[in-house]
Amino acid sequence: MKTFILFGQEIKDNYITFVQGDSSYKISKATDSVFLERGPFSLRYFGRMYDNKSQKFYSAQIAVLENQSDTKSVKIGTHTKDIPYFEPGTGMAPGQNGMYDTVVISNTGHHYLTYENEKEKRVFLISTNQKKYEFEWIISAVFNKAQDVQFHDLKLPCLFFVVFLDNNLNEVIDKGEMKIVKVIFK
């Protein structure tokens, strides 16, 4: 397992986990694939608290794409302004409940997952250990081509999740901050 340094603190949890039912799939490589049933699932990751007061906007920025070719602009050293779905202003608004229960497939925007406290959150806090927090994004359905679709009705064979955790808040993809996961539906 790789480690990275975050403001002098070593973080050993440089992976994300897809969870569906009783099964979990840990992704530690920069690019990987996972097989899931056509149903709700969640994505878990380790991050830091969003701190609006101190202007430390820690988040998970996640684009969900239909085409693998849309991932070609994602490379170490690339600034987010040079990636169409991560450039400034492309963070999509959450649902009425403040969460992203429905994943939006878009190559022009991304989900901006934050957790500041129990009132100001877009994901759930599931564990904590000192300054290390594990968050969970629960995904119930899909928004594709201007309509809500249940997973069992989704005609696409797979989706590409581009997960960016800007640990040093420099808006540049640094080593260990990006994962591209091909979710293949069984």
Q: Residue 13: what pLDDT?
A: 64
Q: What is the pLDDT of residues 48-88, one digit of tens each?
A: 999 999 999 999 999 999 999 999 999 999 999 999 999 99
User: When comparing pLDDT for 171 and 97, which is higher?
Assistant: 171
- Looking at residues 7-13, what average pLDDT do you find? 44
Instruction: Give the pLDDT confidence score for residue 9 in this predicted structure.
Output: 37
For residues 109 and 91, what is the distance between their CA atoms, to the nearest angstrom?
6
In this structure, of 3-17, 106-120, 147-161, the range with the lowest mean pLDDT score is 3-17
Give the residue extent of every domain in the chain. Answer: 14-185
Q: What phi and psi values does residue 163 have, to the nearest 5 degrees? A: -110, 115
Contacts of 173 (CB under 8 A, 6+ apart): 74, 75, 76, 77, 78, 79, 80, 164
Number of H helices, E strands in the chain: 0, 16
DSSP assignment of 65-82, as one string?
Answer: ES-GGGGTT--TT-BGGG
Question: Quick one: pLDDT at residue 4?
Answer: 36
pLDDT classification of 98: cutoffs 50, 70, 90: confident
Residue 2 has pLDDT above 70, yes or no: no
Rounded to an integer, the average pLDDT of 90-102 is: 91
The pLDDT score that the predictor gives to residue 6 is 35
CA–CA dist 95, 122 (Å, integer): 9
Task: Examine the pLDDT at 11 and tell me if it is beyond 50.
Answer: no
Q: Is pLDDT of 186 > 70?
A: yes
Task: For residue 179, name the pLDDT band (cuts at 50, 70, 90).
Answer: very high
Predicted TM-score (pTM) of this structure = 0.91
pLDDT at 130: 72
> Is 5 a residue whose pLDDT tops 70?
no
